[in-house]
Amino acid sequence: MAQTMVIDGKSVEINGERNILEVCRKAGIELPTFCYHSELSVYGACRMCLVELENGQIVAGCSTPAEAGQVVKTTTPRVQKIRKMALELLLANHDRDCTTCEKSGMCKLQDLAQRFGVREVRFGQRDKKVDIDDSSLALIRDPNKCILCGDCVRMCEEVQGIGVLDFAHRGSDMTVTPAFNKPMAEVDCVNCGQCAAVCPTGALIVKSQTNEVWQALHDPTKTVIVQVAPAVRVAVGEVFGLEAGQNTIGKLTQALRQMGFDKVFDTSFAADLTVMEEGTEFLERLQKGEHLPQFTSCCPAWVKYTEQYHPEFLGNLSTCRSPQQMFGSLAKKYYAEELEIDPKDLVVVSLMPCTAKKFEAARPELSTDGMPDVDVVITTQEVVRMIREAGLDYANLEDDSLDMPFGFTSGGGILFGVTGGVSEAVLRAAHYLLLDEELDQVNFTEVRGTEGLRAAEVDVGGQKVKLAIVFGLANAKRLLQQIKDGEAEYHIIEVMACPGGCVGGAGQPATNPEVRSARTQGIYTADKAQQLRKSYQNPLIDNVYEKWLDAPNSEKAHDALHTTYGARRRILGEGISLGDNHTAKQLEVSVCVGTGCYLKGAYDLLHNLGYRLQEAKLNQRVDLKATFCFENCGGGVNVKIGDTLYSGMSPAKTDAVFGKIVDELEK
Amino acid sequence: MAKALPVVDAEERMLQERQFIKVNEIIAQHGKEESTLIPILQKVQEEYRYLPEEILTYVATALGISPATVYGVATFYAQFSLDPMGEYIVRVCDGTACHVRRSTDVLNAIRKKVGLSPEQKTTDDLGFTVETVSCLGACGLAPVVTINDEVYGNVTPEAITEILDTLQKREGK
């Protein structure tokens, strides 16, 4: 017989729910929460989900296991009183300038204060204001609005495996902050924005660039074009009362045109191009057996993560720019010319489900003649605000079609919006790219799924290709470790930082697992609706190669569509001086003790050098420093003597390094 | 394995103590488990007199935890300081017993003598750090002040000013 418990007088079955909260929600009672997310660990901090047990005990529903025979009441006078008090206390600490807050209308704190009838706050208002951190290109952190629920902390640590944010200080001074209270731009944040996606208030929000877009649209000297990413089309509608996951690309095109964009294009077209480039690159690596596994490079959060944490795998990343950047590059390098306008007067806007794309667009290597290839990146959330500002009745807009020459896509290009999509699109094309033969098979369902780490094996032209598909950087971290330990072997690995891939991006409207799954379905439906399903069938792709780029992976294609990566330091800061003998005319010797060098024995080398210098009584003449990362993590310990950087050093080479120091001193 | 540094003389030793190499010895002694973080930080503070930012990042790297978490732990406990501390650490007890026996007057006298305020806890020359603590467990001697490991009981503003004066003269400050 099934186990049951009693909730508000009704008997409810328990079917493996982890706690009382889940059983209540199953029974249709929407217990309020700030700090509970089904995908994160249970924290039990916000005290909103309190329930009263039969014995009068009040417990947090999220952190109390559901037991058979339990009798629970969710709305008793005591529970109501405590919830309201907790809300008032949170509000007393919260910057309540709701009218100018970006989160207004979507704020959980505002919502619960309304729901529980908080009409006054009996406590004084916190008057100390802390500076807002807007250093990041993707996010704004406003500690004055933080309610210390810790959602962002757990998201970054548990799902992304980074831990950019954590609690610091204590009691009334407690804050959630990056290491050493540094600005977000100076720490290891990869800009995935998942912290903002779970933030219940306006403490972490996506940096809005709608003003820049309006400005460009209002400038008569500019031609403004926009590219729409696959995942955006299945998410805008839900905000305007349409079904979650409905593909509204037609309405979106209409809306963008009415706002004043000169051309509306599709990033999925550039995704088709990515399939050609990345597929060709992969097959070449596969044949040569070089730089395998190949990692996808479409996700800018993953790319930055690799640069910071795994420079040893940079050679494995596909050199392909992401579809957004391929599009921008083509627009600035070729399309402006075709329009007979100066590239300076062409404004490329991209509409993305992603916050990290804002950072990617600003990367100096992704520019043409000093101009960024993509000028402004706005997220789905931002375009929704623009549609509202323009007063458009989105749900009832008439469909319009995308523009040429970048407005036609195969189904494969659209798949980039979901986890496994890049892999499936590449698989659809691989057979053709390898053997120049059509394959009847279209769908590769083995790469689809909702698990954060999946594996598949597919036959490509008689060769078994092993794939891994990953989302969540914590999963990627685990996989990289397995590869290093020799426990896993793959040929190609697709990594997306956000849960479910781009449909779950942090630039999207509020996401939960159900909405995400509806959007995923929306992408697969959109794929099916395309006349052409495989990227190489897209006639626009042929045009691009014929007109501009010759062939996949040609020199011209490399120049426009590929890039290189470099190691990147995680936390910006000064070196550690090993002595306090700061006299003039000292030779500066720095030994890198960043992770890469540390693992190769940087500490022992440093120790040996300190010892040797002391022995030779040279320690007064040398300022020996330990430093973090010369961004040259390839081969062995990096040592900088004066102005010269020596790589590939090791403890065994202490004598050589010491010799170089002596030479430098004698100069 | 690296050799131990030879001890040359007091001055040299002082220099070594400030050295980065120390932190590696500390980590080696305690192991690289997450649970060893607090003992490591205590030891680092003992060696460096505070927790330098770069050392904390280094410890985080070595233990495989995020620098933000290390920063969180370091700022949670009052025993840790992220700013360099003075040579003399003056702790004024402000527990109930000391408070009612006018520890506030003693605290004000100390701050006045060394030129500190509630906002600035350490003198610019790193001579003195002045802090309050909640109880030193010597209520019978209230009000109580400790200077480094020395305990002074039944302190008056006049008496503590005189003690500080002696220390300042000894240091030529």
**Higher-confidence position of A582 and B118:** B118
Residues 6+ apart with CB under 8 A from B40: B26, B27, B30, B59, B63
Same domain, B116 and B152: yes
Give the nearest partner residue to B5 out of A166, A595, A614, using CB atoms: A614
A128 half-sphere exposure, CB direction, 13 A CA radius: 5
> Are A375 and A348 within 8 A, CB to CB?
yes
What does the pLDDT read at residue A390? 97
Same domain, B97 and B156: yes
Q: How far apart (Å, rounded) are the C-alpha atoms in residues A277 and A548? A: 14
What does the pLDDT read at residue B84? 85
Establish if B1 touches chain A: CB-CB under 8 angstroms: yes
Residue B129's nearest CA partner among B139, B141, B115, B143 is B115
Same domain, B144 and B119: yes
Q: How far apart (Å, rounded) are the C-alpha atoms in residues A10 and A4? A: 10
Mean pLDDT on A609-637: 78
pLDDT exceeds 80 at position A498:
yes
Residue A631's nearest CA partner among A622, A623, A640, A621 is A640
Residue A351's nearest CA partner among A500, A223, A241, A505 is A505
Helix (H) or strand (E) holding B72: helix B67-76
In a domain, B56, yes or no: yes
CB contact under 8 A, A180 and B67: yes
Residue A464 Cα to chain centre, angstroms: 31
- Kindly report, residue by residue over A50-79, the tens digit of the pLDDT: 999 999 999 999 999 999 999 999 999 999
Which residues of chain B are within 8 Å of residue A152 when distances are taken between CB atoms?
Answer: none
What does the pLDDT read at residue A360? 97
- Kindly report, residue by residue over A302-342, the tens digit of the pLDDT: 999 999 988 889 999 999 999 999 999 999 999 999 999 99
Instruction: Say how many Å lie between the first and final Cα of chain B, rounded.
Output: 44
Where in the sequence is the domain holding B155, given as residue range(s)?
88-171
What does the pLDDT read at residue B154? 94
What does the pLDDT read at residue A144? 96
Which of A152, A165, A166 would best serve as a mutation to test chain B binding (most B beta carbons within 10 A)? A166
Which residues of chain B are within 8 Å of residue A179 when distances are taken between CB atoms?
Answer: 56-57, 60, 66-68, 70-71
In a domain, B81, yes or no: no
What does the pLDDT read at residue A1? 62
CA of B7: which chain A residue's CA is closest?
Answer: A614
In order of start, what are the domains of chain A with their CATH numbers?
A: 4-75 (3.10.20.740), 89-206 (3.30.70.20), 210-561 (3.40.50.1780), 576-666 (3.40.30.10)
Residue A13 annotated to the active site: no
Residue where one domain finishes, among candidates B27, B48, B76: B76
Q: Is the Cα dihedral A191, A195, A197, A199 positive or negative?
A: negative
Counting runs of H as helices and runs of E as strands, what totals does chain A give? 23, 24
Q: How confident is the model at residue A655 (pLDDT cuts 50, 70, 90)?
A: confident
What does the pLDDT read at residue A599? 77
Residues 6+ apart with CB under 8 A from A69: A4, A5
What does the pLDDT read at residue A647? 84
Which of A128, A473, A480, A603 would best serve as a mutation to test chain B binding (most B beta carbons within 10 A)? A603
pLDDT exceeds 70 at position A221:
yes
> Are A589 and A627 within 8 A, CB to CB?
no
Which three-class secondary structure state does DSSP give residue A194? helix
Q: How confident is the model at residue A222 (pLDDT cuts 50, 70, 90)?
A: very high
Mean pLDDT on B144-168: 93
| Residue A470 β-bridge partners | A453, A495
Cis preceding-peptide flag for A293 (omega within 30 of 0): yes
Same domain, B65 and B94: no
pLDDT exceeds 70 at position A13:
yes
Q: How far apart (Å, rounded) are the C-alpha atoms in residues B123 and B115? A: 7
Q: What are phi and psi of B89, to 5 degrees?
A: -105, 110
Q: Which of A6-20, A79-93, A218-232, B23-37 has the lowest mean pLDDT?
A: B23-37
Helix (H) or strand (E) holding B131: strand B128-133
DSSP state of B139: G
> Are A602 and A654 within 8 A, CB to CB?
no
Which three-class secondary structure state does DSSP give residue A350? strand
Residue A417's nearest CA partner among A281, A540, A266 is A266
What does the pLDDT read at residue B14? 44
CB contact under 8 A, B55 and A157: no
- Kindly report, residue by residue over B40-64, the tens digit of the pLDDT: 999 999 888 889 888 898 899 889 8
**Higher-confidence position of A650 and A139:** A139
What number of other Cβ atoms are within 10 A of residue A657's Cβ? 23
Read off the pTM.
0.85
Residues of A with CB under 8 A from a CB of B: 157, 162-170, 177-181, 187-188, 570-571, 573-576, 578-581, 593-595, 598, 603-604, 606-608, 610-611, 614-615, 619, 626, 628, 651
What does the pLDDT read at residue B6? 43
Give residue A584's identity as a one-letter amino acid code. Answer: A
Q: To the nearest whole angstrom, how far is the Cα of A112 from the nearest Cα of chain B? A: 29
Mean pLDDT on A654-660: 86
In a domain, B144, yes or no: yes
Q: How far apart (Å, rounded) are the C-alpha atoms in residues A99 and A115? A: 18
CA A121 vs CA A84, A86, A107, A175: distances in Å: 10, 11, 18, 22
Q: How many CB pairs (< 8 A) connect A and B?
A: 103
What does the pLDDT read at residue A143? 96
pLDDT exceeds 60 at position A271:
yes
What does the pLDDT read at residue A625? 79
* Strand bridging mode A367-368 / A371-372: antiparallel
CA A29 vs CA A12, A61, A117, A220, B116: distances in Å: 11, 12, 18, 54, 57
Residue where one domain finishes, among candidates B27, B46, B76: B76
- Identify the active-site residue in A136, A268, A318, A322: A318
Total domains, chain B: 2
Mean pLDDT on A380-393: 97
What does the pLDDT read at residue B15? 47
CB contact under 8 A, B72 and A606: no
Q: To the nearest whole angstrom, how far is the Cα of A125 from the nearest Cα of chain B? A: 23
In a domain, B82, yes or no: no
- Enter the tokens of residue A497: 């930082």
Dihedral over alpha carbons A582, A583, A585, A591 (to 10 degrees): -20
Give the nearest partner residue to A611 out of B5, B57, B60, using CB atoms: B5
Q: How confident is the model at residue B3 (pLDDT cuts 50, 70, 90)?
A: very low
Helix (H) or strand (E) holding A589: strand A587-592
Q: How far apart (Å, rounded) are the C-alpha atoms in residues A456 and A468? A: 6
Residue A630's nearest CA partner among A593, A664, A661 is A593
In a domain, B41, yes or no: yes
Q: Which of A178-192, A451-465, A616-630, B74-88 has the lowest mean pLDDT?
A: A616-630
- Enter the tokens of residue A89: 């206390």
Q: How confident is the model at residue B172 (pLDDT cuts 50, 70, 90)?
A: low
Q: How confident is the model at residue A614 (pLDDT cuts 50, 70, 90)?
A: confident
- Identify the active-site residue in A22, A238, A277, A360: A360
Which of B3, B19, B50, B134 would best serve as a mutation to test chain A binding (most A beta carbons within 10 A)? B19
Mean pLDDT on A550-574: 87
Mean pLDDT on A248-275: 97
> Are A293 and A319 within 8 A, CB to CB?
no
Express as a percent the part of chain A with pLDDT over 70: 98
What does the pLDDT read at residue A580? 40
Same domain, B96 and B166: yes
Q: Which of A360-364, A542-546, B20-24 has the lowest mean pLDDT?
A: B20-24
Which residues of chain B are within 8 Å of residue A574 when distances are taken between CB atoms?
Answer: 54
- Identify the active-site residue in A357, A600, A625, A653: A357
CB contact under 8 A, A180 and B20: no
Same domain, B61 and B122: no
Q: Is the Cα dihedral A17, A23, A27, A31 positive or negative?
A: negative
* Strand bridging mode A587-592 / A223-228: unpaired
- Kindly report, residue by residue over A83-107, the tens digit of the pLDDT: 999 999 999 999 999 999 999 999 9
Mean pLDDT on A649-656: 86
Residue where one domain finishes, among candidates B55, B76, B97: B76
Q: To the nearest whole angstrom, how far is the Cα of B51 from the nearest Cα of chain A? A: 11
3-state percent breakdown (helix, strand, coil) of chain A, nearest 5: 40, 15, 40
Q: To the nearest whole angstrom, how far is the Cα of A302 from the nearest Cα of chain B? A: 18
What does the pLDDT read at residue A207? 97
What does the pLDDT read at residue A8? 95
Residue A614 Cα to chain centre, angstroms: 48
Same domain, B17 and B70: yes
Same domain, B92 and B167: yes
Which residues of chain B are within 8 Å of residue A608 when distances are taken between CB atoms?
Answer: 2-3
> Are B74 and B80 within 8 A, CB to CB?
yes
Q: What is the CATH number of the domain that holds B24?
A: 1.10.10
Mean pLDDT on A631-650: 81
Q: What is the CATH number of the domain that holds B103?
A: 3.40.30.10
In a domain, B17, yes or no: yes
Give the nearest partner residue to B5 out of A170, A581, A610, using CB atoms: A610
Q: To the nearest whole angstrom, how far is the Cα of A358 from the nearest Cα of chain B? A: 24
The complex scores an ipTM of 0.83
* Strand bridging mode A492-496 / A294-295: parallel
| Residue A5 β-bridge partners | A12
Rounded to a whole number, what is the largest CA-CA distance in chain A?
A: 88
| Residue A106 β-bridge partners | none
Which of A167, A174, A657 would best serve as a mutation to test chain B binding (most B beta carbons within 10 A)? A167
- Kindly report, residue by residue over B81-125, the tens digit of the pLDDT: 998 888 899 999 999 999 999 999 999 999 999 999 988 889 988
Same domain, B72 and B97: no
Q: How far apart (Å, rounded) are the C-alpha atoms in residues A222 and B47? A: 61
Q: What are phi and psi of A513, to 5 degrees?
A: -55, -35
- Kindly report, residue by residue over A276-304, the tens digit of the pLDDT: 999 999 999 999 998 999 999 999 999 99
Same domain, B31 and B51: yes
What does the pLDDT read at residue A449? 92
Q: How confident is the model at residue A573 (pLDDT cuts 50, 70, 90)?
A: low
What number of other Cβ atoms are within 10 A of residue A326's Cβ? 28
What does the pLDDT read at residue B46? 86
Q: How confident is the model at residue A620 (pLDDT cuts 50, 70, 90)?
A: confident
Give residue A259's identity as a one-letter amino acid code. Answer: M
Mean pLDDT on A549-564: 95
Q: To the nearest whole angstrom, how far is the Cα of A600 from the nearest Cα of chain B? A: 13
CB contact under 8 A, A179 and B68: yes
| Strands of A50-53's sheet in order across | A10-13, A4-7, A71-73, A50-53, A58-60
pLDDT exceeds 80 at position B131:
yes
Q: How far apart (Å, rounded) are the C-alpha atoms in residues A580 and A302? A: 40
Establish if B51 touches chain A: CB-CB under 8 angstroms: no
Same domain, B66 and B29: yes
What does the pLDDT read at residue A268? 97
What does the pLDDT read at residue A396? 97
Which residues of chain A are within 8 Å of residue B60 when distances are taken between CB atoms?
Answer: 179
In a domain, B4, yes or no: no
- Enter the tokens of residue A484: 């290093």
CA A243 vs CA A240, A380, A395, B71: distances in Å: 9, 16, 10, 45
Encode burial over A455-470: b for 16+ CB neighbours within 10 A, e otherwise.
bbebebeeeebbbbbb
**Higher-confidence position of A24 and A625:** A24
Q: How confident is the model at residue A581 (pLDDT cuts 50, 70, 90)?
A: very low
Question: Considering chain A, what is the average pLDDT of its residues?
Answer: 92
pLDDT exceeds 90 at position A127:
no
What does the pLDDT read at residue B8? 43
What does the pLDDT read at residue B19? 58
Same domain, B41 and B95: no
Which residues of chain A are within 8 Å of residue B76 when distances are taken between CB atoms?
Answer: 167-170
In a domain, B24, yes or no: yes
- Kindly report, residue by residue over A14-35, the tens digit of the pLDDT: 998 989 999 999 999 999 999 9
Q: How far apart (Å, rounded) are the C-alpha atoms in residues B75 and B53? A: 12
Which residues of chain A are within 8 Å of residue B66 when distances are taken between CB atoms?
Answer: 157, 162-164, 166, 179
Establish if B72 touches chain A: CB-CB under 8 angstroms: yes
Q: How far apart (Å, rounded) are the C-alpha atoms in residues A291 and A306? A: 15
Q: How confident is the model at residue A574 (pLDDT cuts 50, 70, 90)?
A: low
> Are A177 and A220 within 8 A, CB to CB?
no
Mean pLDDT on A177-200: 96
